[in-house]
């Protein structure tokens, strides 16, 4: 299949892995970044990567990045100072809903959108262990969760075909190739999944919905965790 995939958030840890995976499969990759120098050097130097530089809420930049896209994978998220949940938020709080709002104003009606969300957003909150709820409520993670919930609502309230991929705690461990779709599974403790396995899953999900292949299921929710 020769698909074109746009990645919003390609300078981030998950987004860069997703972008590499799209390129590795020989597909056309486009990205929207606010600053080209924030892209990993290997991606910035890749002649097959089409890069648009612009703000997340700039419809013109978003339109360029989405031109011809069969699927868009959105991996942006709030940045925490010192990369710490109690460090406060570095920059805008609403980066995820801002990205989705802009995308929805310019995307072709059949572009399949995959949003990286988190376990605990919306109705999945009740399945979180108490300790995780307390950490989220008392830290800046609450800002990230609020943004993800708003972004999910925007997609669910639209006619855009989409998947909400709710990931558990992310690690920088290697790709295992193991199964990560944990939908319907009872999770215990602090389940984790590597960004590398998640990236492969996000690309698989995007391609499974591209070209109207998910037309019977215009809004899909997937819980992602490593292992069975
Ligand atoms: N950490 C976890 O355990 C966990 C679990 C479940 C879900 N998630 C979700 O997964 C997301 C991605 O994770 P990650 O590790 O890849 O995060 P990351 O490395 O911090 O990447 C964040 C991405 O968002 C972009 N971004 C932030 N603020 C922006 C703004 N104002 N304008 C434009 N772009 C902006 C960043 O761009 P710049 O490089 O330009 O800053 C970067 O590309 C998280 O943010 C969270 O929503 C995380």
* Tens of pLDDT, residues 94-124: 999 999 999 999 999 999 999 999 999 999 9
Give 74 Cα–ligand 1 centroid separation in angstroms: 10
Q: Does an H or E element contain 209, and which?
A: helix 195-209
Token pair in block for residue 76: 């942006």
Atom of ligand 1 nearest to the CA of 76: 24
Report the half-sphere exposure of 62 (CA within 13 A, side-chain side): 21
Q: Which residue has better confidence, 227 or 226?
A: 226
Give 219 Cα–ligand 1 centroid separation in angstroms: 23
Does 28 have pLDDT greater than 60? yes
Task: Return the domain boundaries, the chain.
Answer: 4-224
Query: What is the model's pLDDT at position 1?
Result: 62
Rounded to an integer, what distance in angstroms lies between the CA atom of residue 51 and that of residue 94?
23
Q: Classify the C-alpha dihedral 18-20-21-25 as positive or negative.
A: positive
What are the DSSP calls for 112-159, one per residue? EEEEEEETTSGGGGGGS-HHHHHHHHHSTHHHHHHHHHHHHHHHHTSS
- Mean pLDDT confidence for 154-164: 97
Residue nearest to ligand 1 atom 5, measured at CA: 169
Token pair in block for residue 94: 């609403």
Kindly state if the Cβ of 77 falls inside 6 Å of ligand 1.
Answer: yes
Query: What is the model's pLDDT at position 137?
Result: 96
Does 215 have pLDDT greater than 70? no
Q: Does an H or E element contain 52, and which?
A: strand 49-53
Task: Please provide the average confidence, as pLDDT, over all residues in the chain.
Answer: 95
The domain defined by 4-224 folds into: Rossmann fold (3.40.50)
Does 167 have pLDDT greater than 60? yes
Rounded to an integer, what distance in angstroms lies between the CA atom of residue 112 and that of residue 72?
6
Kindly state if the Cβ of 15 falls inside 6 Å of ligand 1.
Answer: yes
Q: Which residue has better confidence, 41 or 210?
A: 41
Q: For residue 24, report the phi and psi dihedrals to the nearest 5 degrees.
A: -60, -35
Kindly state if the Cβ of 116 falls inside 6 Å of ligand 1.
Answer: yes
Which band of pLDDT confidence, cut at 50, 70 and 90, is reported for residue 195? very high
- Mean pLDDT confidence for 201-208: 97
Residue 228's closest CA among 174, 185, 172, 167? Answer: 185
Which band of pLDDT confidence, cut at 50, 70 and 90, is reported for residue 227? confident
Which band of pLDDT confidence, cut at 50, 70 and 90, is reported for residue 214? low
- Its pTM stands at 0.97
CB 168 within 8 A of CB 116: no
């Amino acid at each position: 299949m020769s698909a074109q995939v746009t990645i919003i958030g390609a300078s981030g840890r998950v987004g860069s892995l997703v972008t590499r995976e799209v390129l590795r499969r020989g597909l056309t990759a486009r990205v929207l970044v606010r600053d080209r120098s924030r892209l990993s050097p290997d991606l910035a130097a890749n002649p097959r990567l089409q890069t648009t530089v612009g703000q997340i809420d700039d419809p013109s930049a978003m339109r360029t990045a989405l031109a011809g896209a069969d699927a868009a994978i959105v991996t942006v998220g709030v940045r925490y100072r010192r990369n710490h949940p109690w460090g406060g938020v570095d920059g805008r709080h609403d980066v995820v809903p801002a990205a989705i709002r802009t995308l929805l104003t310019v995307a072709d009606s059949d572009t399949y959108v995959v949003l990286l969300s988190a376990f605990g957003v919306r109705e999945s909150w009740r399945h979180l262990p108490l300790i995780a709820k307390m950490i989220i409520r008392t830290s800046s993670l609450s800002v990230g969760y609020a943004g993800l919930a708003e972004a999910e609502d925007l997609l669910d309230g639209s006619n855009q075909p989409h998947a909400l991929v709710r990931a558990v705690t992310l690690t920088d461990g290697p790709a295992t190739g193991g199964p990560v779709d944990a939908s319907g599974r009872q999770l215990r403790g602090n389940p984790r999944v590597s960004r590398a396995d998640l990236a492969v899953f996000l690309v698989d999900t995007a391609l499974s919905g591209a070209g109207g292949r998910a037309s019977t299921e215009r809004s899909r929710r997937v819980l992602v965790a490593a292992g069975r």
